A and B are shown apart, each in its own frame.
Chain A
Amino acid sequence: MIVTRSRMRSIGWAVILAVCGALTLALTFRVNAVKSQVRLAERQIVRAEQDKSLLETEFETRANQQQLTALNQVEFGYQAPTAQQYLENERQLAALSKPRSVDAPEPIMVATANDRPEKSALVAMVNPLTGSAMAAEVPAGGARRGTGSAGLGDRLSGNDRLSAPVAGKKVAVE
Chain B
Amino acid sequence: MTAMAVSATISSGRVQLVNVRQRLLLIAKLRVLWVLAMFTVIAFAAIIRIAWLGIGQSAPSNRSMAEALLPPRGEIVDRNGTPLARAFPAYSLWFNPKALGGGAALVKTPQEVAAALVRIFPDENYEKLVARLSSDRPSYLRRRIMPEDANRIHAMGEPALEFPRENERYYPQGSMAAHVLGYVGADGVGRVGMEQVFNKQLTDAATRGQPAVLSLDTRVQGALEDELGRGMAESNAIGAAGIVLDVDTGEVLALASLPSFNPNLIDEAGAANIFNRVSNQVYELGSTFKPITVAAAIDAGVITDMAHRWPAGAPLKIDNFQIHDHENFGSSLNVPEALIHSSNVVTAQIGDKLGGVRLRQTMMSLGFNERPYIELPAKGFPLWPKGEWARITTMTVSFGHGIAVTPLHLASAYSALVNGGIWRPATLQKLGPGHIPEGRRVFTASTSARMRQLLRMIVVDGTGRKANAVGFRVGGKTGSAEKPGAHGYSRTSLVATFAAAFPMDHPRYVIIAMLDEPKGTVATSGQRTAAWNAAPVVGRLVPRIGPLLGIMPDDSRDVDISDLSPLVANGNGE
Contacts and interface: CB of A to CB of B under 8 A. Distances in A.
Interface stretch (A23-31, A79-87, A154-162, A165-173): A79-87
Contacts of A108: 556-558
Interface in A118-133: none
A148 B176 CA distance: 43
A151 to B, nearest CB: 27
Given A60-B173, A82-B470, A113 B505 contact: yes
Nearest to A47: B68
Nearest to A39: B62
A37 interface: no
Interface string B217-244: 1110111011000000000000000000
B419 to A, nearest CB: 11
A136 B548 contact: yes
B199 interface: no
Given A92-B556, A110-B559, A136-B548, A66 B506 contact: no
A39 B68 CA distance: 12
Interface string B529-571: 0000000000000011011111011111111101000000000
Contact of B174 (A64, A111, A113): A64
A32 interface: no
A56 B83 contact: yes
A145 to B, nearest CB: 17
Contact of B544 (A49, A80, A110): A80
B470 A61 contact: no
B88 interface: yes
B543 A82 contact: yes
Contact of B471 (A49, A83, A113): A83
A116 to B, nearest CB: 11
A26 to B, nearest CB: 18
Nearest to B67: A46
Interface residues of B, number: 47
Contacts, number: 112
Nearest to B543: A80
A42 B65 CA distance: 6
B1 interface: no
A110 B83 CA distance: 40
B560 A64 contact: no
A163 interface: no
Contacts of A46: 65, 68-69
Contacts of B175: 66
- Indicate the size class of the contact surface on chain A: 35 or more
A39 B64 CA distance: 8
Contacts of B543: 80-82
A112 B503 CA distance: 11
Contacts of B69: 46, 49
A88 B551 CA distance: 11
B379 interface: no
A25 to B, nearest CB: 14
Given A46-B65, A136-B549, A112 B505 contact: yes
B221 A109 contact: no
A114 interface: yes
Contact of B172 (A64, A107, A114, A137): A64
A65 B221 contact: yes
A69 B506 contact: no
Nearest to B550: A137
B261 interface: no
Interface string A82-105: 111010100010000000000000
A60 B558 CA distance: 38
A80 B541 CA distance: 9
Interface in B83-118: 83, 86, 88-89
Contact of A112 (B65, B83, B222, B557): B557
A95 B278 CA distance: 45
A112 B556 CA distance: 11
Interface string A45-58: 11001100110110
Contact of B549 (A50, A65, A137): A137
A83 B547 contact: no
Contacts of A150: none
Given A82-B553, A83-B470, A86-B554, A60 B82 contact: yes
B399 interface: no
Contacts of A53: 86
A14 interface: no
The 4 closest A-B pairs by CB, nearest first: A65-B222, A83-B471, A137-B550, A110-B560
25 contacts: A42-B64, A42-B68, A43-B68, A46-B68, A54-B88, A60-B83, A60-B173, A64-B176, A65-B173, A65-B176, A66-B222, A66-B226, A80-B544, A81-B543, A82-B543, A82-B553, A83-B553, A110-B559, A111-B559, A112-B505, A112-B506, A113-B505, A135-B548, A135-B549, A137-B550
Given A81-B547, A112-B506, 10 more contacts: A60-B83, A61-B174, A64-B173, A64-B174, A65-B226, A82-B470, A83-B553, A110-B558, A135-B550, A136-B217
